[in-house]
Amino acid sequence: MKIATILGTRPEIIKMAPIIDEIGKRGIDQIVLHTGQHYDKEMSDNFFRDLEIPAPDYNIHVGSGTHGRQTGRMMEGIEEILMEEKPDIVLVQGDTNAVLAGALVCAKLHIAVGHVEAGLRSFDLTMPEEINRKVADICSAMYFIPTEQSAINLLAEGFSRKDLIITGNTVVDACFRHLEISKKRGFDEESLKELDIDNMDNILTLTMHRAENVDVKERVVNIIEALKELSDMNIIFPIHPRTKHTLENFGLFDELNNFDHVHIVKPIGYLDFLLLTSKSTLILTDSGGLQEEAITLDVPALTLRYNTERPETVTAGGNILVGSNKQAILENANRILNDKEFADKMKNAKNPYGQGDAAKKTVDAIEKYYEEGILNITAPEDIMDSFTRKMTLIDTDITVVEFEQKENALVHMVFDGDEMRFPSDELNLKGMMITYDKRE
């Protein structure tokens, strides 16, 4: 079996590293293809070094550009390589343009796509990431899904349950694997050593790069005004290159950089960043990955967005959406700082993203699908089964798997009162309304 991984940005490298590592450990043939969307060494190469994964086999070097141009160039480069390499499955991760380009190319070449971190939805179609993740899901053959809630999103859109595999999120694997190393090693970056973080209280780690925030001057101004008033905090801001460019263009970089309590530093390596995050009193971010890492590391997060495709972090109590609303940012930050009970409740929120074995579960499932021949995407030769989609209320003790065997059916959606549940094999359906496909 040959597995190809396509990645292109910082978070994809971080979240695919545990899977690349697991594939390598099992001796499975693999190639890694970098689109070159992120190219600064502190946004790309340094992560291969820190996470101890081999350098990519290919780099398409697409660089920066408009969405259409960047995605088109990626598709051209990816197609050429995959036609030559002929992998059995291609893995894409998350919701970047690499995911869109990779999934579309594979669908046309009839190569199975495994979407890692599938099923997330912000329900905001103005986000480029929402389009990317939805298109990728349509093109995929296997779905590696972080939580039951994300799996339910896919069921509600009509995806078949049989290929939905709940794994947790590989960011937990990456966090657990690297935090201990970084604790032993201490800070490495000169800029962080200079800040003497070990002796600093009230650290607020800030990251922002989301287009809908940093490309809109009014939103940036609101956020900066809030930061100005948070002068009790030591704000450490590893700045994303996109944000640096837009702050400079808006003429706001110097104003922010001149606040005594704000320390703007270059994007920092993963080991240093994990250590910084874990020592923080508060995380203020619009990053997807950081919302997950905050709840994994028991640090309260305020998310600078009006919606999130990670709602589990909010319902668990570890994350609060504050948008770019100055008042909401200040009220919540000050409460975390001054109200110990409130802060402790946020810190103790249960991590919804699993135990740190997502990579193992992902590769287990790929091996199983490969052995069963399910990764071969060919035009059907069997005459189509006829089936009818039905709905029924279950009034006896019966699990999903028992019901499916008895009825020759595939359970689709399950409603427990007004709540939708994920039909895991062992779920007892008594008292629940279900929809299912019945093979005739």
Residues contributing to the site for ligand UDP (CB under 6 A): 10-11, 14, 207, 209, 238, 240, 267-268, 270, 273, 287-290, 293
Residue type, 247: L
In the bound state with ligand UDP, the residue whose beta carbon lies nearer, of 56 and 238, is 238
Residue 147 C-alpha from the chain's centroid: 11
Mask for 226-265, x = binds ligand UD1 (CB under 6 A): ---------------xx--x--------------------
Which does residue 317 touch among ligand UDP, ligand UD1, none (CB within 5 to 8 A, set by kind)? none
Binding to ligand UD1 in span 26-45, by CB under 6 A: 37-40, 43
Distances in Å between the Cα of 47 and the Cα atoms of 5, 106, 369 are 16, 26, 30
In the bound state with ligand UD1, the residue whose beta carbon lies nearer, of 96 and 167, is 96
240 is annotated as an active-site residue: no
CA 265 – CA 437 distance, rounded (Å): 55
Residues belonging to the chain: 440
Closest distance between ligand UDP and the C-beta of residue 274, in Å? 6
Which does residue 290 touch among ligand UD1, ligand UDP, none (CB within 5 to 8 A, set by kind)? ligand UDP
Binding to ligand UD1 in span 112-131, by CB under 6 A: 128-129
Query: Which of the residues 34, 38, 209, 412 is marked catalytic?
Result: 209
Does 96 bind ligand UD1 (CB under 6 A)? Our answer is yes
- Count residues contacting ligand UD1 (CB under 6 A)? 18
Q: Is 305 helix (H, G, I), strand (E, B) or coil?
A: coil
In the bound state with ligand UD1, the residue whose beta carbon lies nearer, of 125 and 383, is 125
Does 64 bind ligand UD1 (CB under 6 A)? Our answer is yes
Specify the DSSP element, H or E, that contains 261.
Answer: none
Closest distance between ligand UD1 and the C-beta of residue 383, in Å? 42
Contacts 24+ apart (CB under 8 A), 180-184: 181/271, 182/271, 182/272, 182/274, 182/275, 183/275, 183/278
Task: Kindly write down the DSSP assignment for every residue of 186-242, as one continuous string.
Answer: ----HHHHHHTGGG--SEEEEE---HHHHT-HHHHHHHHHHHHH-TTSEEEEE--HH
CA 360 – CA 167 distance, rounded (Å): 9
Quick one: angle between helices 270-278 and 170-185, nearest 10? 90
CA 420 – CA 267 distance, rounded (Å): 40
Contact indicator for 145, 165 with CB cutoff of 8 Å: yes
Q: Is 76 helix (H, G, I), strand (E, B) or coil?
A: helix
Closest distance between ligand UDP and the C-beta of residue 47, in Å? 7
Which does residue 241 touch among ligand UD1, ligand UDP, none (CB within 5 to 8 A, set by kind)? ligand UD1
Where do runs of H (alpha helix) occur along 348-384?
358-371
Strand partners, 236: 205, 263
Which does residue 207 touch among ligand UDP, ligand UD1, none (CB within 5 to 8 A, set by kind)? ligand UDP
Closest distance between ligand UD1 and the C-beta of residue 129, in Å? 5
Closest distance between ligand UDP and the C-beta of residue 407, in Å? 42
Closest distance between ligand UD1 and the C-beta of residue 416, in Å? 34
Does 11 bind ligand UD1 (CB under 6 A)? Our answer is yes
In the bound state with ligand UD1, the residue whose beta carbon lies nearer, of 4 and 214, is 214
Residue type, 36: G
E runs forming strands in 199-316: 203-207, 234-238, 262-265, 282-285, 301-303
Name residue, tokens 């780099």: 59
Does 10 bind ligand UD1 (CB under 6 A)? Our answer is yes
Summarize as ranges the residues that interact with ligand UD1 (CB under 6 A): 9-11, 37-40, 43, 64, 95-97, 128-129, 209, 241-242, 245
Q: Which residues are catalytic?
A: 209
